[in-house]
Amino acid sequence: MSTKEAPDAWLAEDPLPAEPVPIVERWLNQAFQTRGQENPHAVALATVDPDGRPSVRIVLCNHIDTERGAFTMYTNRSSRKGRAIAHEPRAAIVFHWPGRQARVEGRVAPTSDAVSDAYFATRPLEARLGAWASQQSEPIESRDQLLDAVRSVQDRFGATREADPVPRPPHWGGLELTAEAVELWVGRVGRVHDRAIWRRRTVGAPWTTTRLQP
Ligand SMILES: Cc1cc2nc3c(=O)[nH]c(=O)nc-3n(C[C@H](O)[C@H](O)[C@H](O)COP(=O)(O)O)c2cc1C
């Protein structure tokens, strides 16, 4: 994999900045500006299943709370990842943007009903219907059966236009990962990359910063 020189390779500076999460947000915004990627919100989300097996999948990290250092993803909480997190409420995510990587590890908690409702209401109609129709991670006989399930949800709610309301399914909502560790990586020329990790014990506690060898 080639690594492009990031537009601002400030991670070269000492001392390192005190707060990592605003940097992650800035990198996300810059990834939208440079259009280097189809979906800059995409993260790999790793969880541990009840039997101790790791699993990973791509989800969208739709919100970053820079004050609290928290990252929100939305999903079906009865899915494989949802069950894993209910059992072991810790997770890791990683963003990859051209020349940059941001890794976040910490504890996960469901977002409030109000937060989940507000985000659900912003989703396109098809996504709102699909959230009811899909028992995410469960087997299904055929694609036709899935499309039938979408049609019956549509009939149930009488929702055919974008503006038509569809309530949020009780199993669907946000998962908020509150960072205990944030590691940033910037690709540099000559492969002498910049890499540093920030760690803290709880929200509000100061971050300790450590530069790491690439
Ligand atoms: C670009 C992309 C974005 C995705 N975004 C989400 C998402 O925001 N939420 C979600 O539940 N699944 C999302 N998925 C699907 C997941 O990768 C995964 O297939 C699904 O959540 C079921 O995972 P699980 O069985 O491990 O729970 C996305 C997939 C891709 C490729």
Does residue 4 fall inside a structural domain? no
Indicate the number of domains in the chain. 1
Does residue 36 fall inside a structural domain? yes
Mean pLDDT score, 169-192: 94
Mean pLDDT score, 170-199: 94
Residue pair 178/70 in contact (Cβ under 8 Å)? The answer is yes
Indicate the pTM of the whole model.
0.94
pLDDT digits (tens, 9 = 90+) for 100-148: 999 999 999 999 999 999 999 999 999 999 999 999 999 999 999 999 9
Q: Is 191 a catalytic residue?
A: yes
Q: CA-CA distances (angstroms) from residue 61 to 20, 87, 104, 142, 207? A: 17, 21, 12, 30, 22
Ligand 1 within 6 A of CB of 136 = yes
Which residue lies with its CA nearest to atom 13 of ligand 1?
59
Does residue 143 fall inside a structural domain? no
**What does the angle CA 76 – CA 77 – CA 78 come to, to the nearest 5 degrees?**
90
Q: Which amino acid is at 161?
A: R
Which CATH number do you get for residue 183? Answer: 2.30.110.10
Does residue 129 fall inside a structural domain? no
Ligand 1 within 6 A of CB of 59 = yes
Does residue 186 fall inside a structural domain? yes
Does residue 82 fall inside a structural domain? yes
Q: How far is the CA of 7 from the centre of ligand 1 (A)?
A: 30
Does residue 91 fall inside a structural domain? yes
User: 87: domain range?
Assistant: 10-123+169-211
Judge whether residue 10 has pLDDT over 90: no
Which is higher by pLDDT, 35 or 97? 97
The torsion angles phi and psi of 26, rounded to 5 degrees, stand at -65, -45
Alpha helices in the chain (DSSP H): 21-34, 80-87, 113-121, 125-133, 143-157
pLDDT digits (tens, 9 = 90+) for 139-175: 999 999 999 999 999 999 999 999 999 999 999 999 9
Three-class SS state of 149: helix
Judge whether residue 7 has pLDDT over 80: no
Which residue lies with its CA nearest to atom 6 of ligand 1?
59
